[in-house]
Amino acid sequence: MPFLIKDLHQDYAGHPTSGGSRSLAKVVAGEHATVVQRWIDAGLVIFGKTNTPEFGAKGITEPELFGPARNPWDLGRTPGGSSGGAAAAVAAGIVPVAGASDGGGSIRIPAACCGLFGLKVGRGLIPAGPVTGEQLHGSATDGVISPGAYGTPP
């Protein structure tokens, strides 16, 4: 299944993880993040990374590095943030599900903005690492964004 990962803490070996920041745009990951390796082991085919605000610090996805993400249902609106690139890709039908992460609404806000389902799992169910430990003292976890129970909005 085609899959996109978030350009924040979801490292893919040999490729940069910028976190939406120019300062990290050329820093190449030496190994896959644990969650990314598990997705690969489960058979997902990762073919890119999704846009995120710089360091995931906003509820909108408008980094200077890659420019703003737009809500595919109304290009004048935001897909939310910080997993706004993931939500926009799923809502546009690019992928059936995309990697996301959430510490303060970063899965839930984009899911709501784009009419999607966001899964933020409880602490400790998806491991962080191997390069970093738990983010935001454990309140931030990896998850996914997918179409809702009734599919994506018309």
Reply yes or no on whether 58 is catalytic: no
Give pLDDT, residue 125. Answer: 80
Selected catalytic residue, list 18, 83, 101, 106: 106
Reply yes or no on whether 82 is catalytic: yes
Read off the pLDDT of residues 66-124 as tens digits, 9 standing for 90 and up.
999 999 999 999 999 999 999 999 999 999 999 999 999 999 999 999 999 999 988 87
Selected catalytic residue, list 21, 82, 83, 146: 82
The structural domains of the chain, ordered by start, are: 2-147 (3.90.1300.10)
Selected catalytic residue, list 6, 49, 58, 120: 6
Reply yes or no on whether 21 is catalytic: no
pLDDT tier, 127 (very low <50, low <70, confident <90, very high otherwise): confident
Give pLDDT, residue 111. Answer: 96
Alpha-carbon span 61 to 116, nearest angstrom: 16
Q: Are 123 and 104 in contact (CB under 8 A)?
A: no
Q: Are 61 and 51 in contact (CB under 8 A)?
A: yes
Separation in Å, CA 65 to CA 39, 79, 88, 104, 123: 27, 17, 17, 22, 30
Q: Which of 113, 22, 96, 10 is nearest to 61 (CA)?
A: 113
